[in-house]
Structures are given as structure tokens and as C-alpha cells.
């Protein structure tokens, strides 16, 4: 929720948050999404199915997690990793990087 508030204040349109993979997958089906911020751990497991669904649609994403980079499943396809507690400037810069053509 903190990230959603910070992003909204920075001028982003936030879809979510989604606490489960299932709710995130529903959002992907229902909403136009430019990019996403995923936490590795969700209420119902990991966000790997969400990452796979985003990748299948060509939607870039960033991981925001407390896990060490080495502990992250390779299925996340080398997505940028921001360690929690996320710095807003670093987050905005990372999002700009992944959205840059």
C-alpha cells in the first residue's frame, strides 16, 4: 500500500495492489497495464505466475522484495530487483528505465 501511495503522489495511475497471485492475474486480464511492481511473496504463494503472465503479454515489471537477488527464481527473467524498503527516486528511475523504448 505504501508503494501505491508513493506512486500515486508521483503522478502514476495505480492498478491494485493485489495481495494474491489470483487477484493480480485478474487485474492483468481486466486492466490495461504499462508495467508492474511485484513482490516475490504473496498471500497465496509467489508472484511467479504473475510474472509469467506479464512476460507473455510483453509487460515489463520490477521486483520489490526483501529476498536476496541470488534467492530469486530465474523464472522472473532477470527483472530489475529493488530491495525493500524501496527508495521512491530509485523506483521511479527503474520504472522509467523499463518503459523506455
pLDDT per residue over 16-28, tens digit each?
999 999 999 999 9
Q: How confident is the model at residue 4 (pLDDT cuts 50, 70, 90)?
A: confident
Q: Strand 60-65 to strand 41-42: parallel, antiparallel, or no bridges (unpaired)?
A: unpaired
The answer on pLDDT for 1 being more than 80 is no
- Whole-prediction pTM: 0.90
Residue 43 has which C-alpha cell? 498471500
Mean of all residue pLDDT scores within the chain: 93
User: Residue 17: is the preceding peptide bond cis (ω within 30°)?
Assistant: yes
Q: Hey, what domains does the chain have and what are their CATH numbers?
A: 2-99 (3.40.50.2300)
Query: In a 3-state reduction of DSSP, which class is residue 51?
Result: helix
What percent of the chain has a predicted confidence (pLDDT) above 90? 73
What percent of the chain has a predicted confidence (pLDDT) above 70? 100
Amino acid at each position: 500500500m505504501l508503494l501505491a501511495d508513493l506512486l500515486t503522489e508521483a503522478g502514476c495511475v495505480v492498478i491494485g495492489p493485489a495481495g494474491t497471485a489470483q487477484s493480480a492475474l485478474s487485474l492483468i486480464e481486466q486492466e490495461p497495464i504499462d508495467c508492474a511492481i511485484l513482490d516475490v511473496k504473496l498471500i497465496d504463494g509467489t508472484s511467479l505466475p504473475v510474472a509469467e503472465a506479464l512476460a507473455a503479454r510483453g509487460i515489463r515489471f520490477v521486483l520489490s522484495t526483501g529476498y536476496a537477488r541470488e534467492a530469486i527464481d530465474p523464472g522472473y527473467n532477470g527483472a530489475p530487483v529493488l530491495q525493500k524498503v524501496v527508495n521512491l527516486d530509485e523506483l521511479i528511475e527503474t520504472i522509467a528505465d523499463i518503459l523506455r523504448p
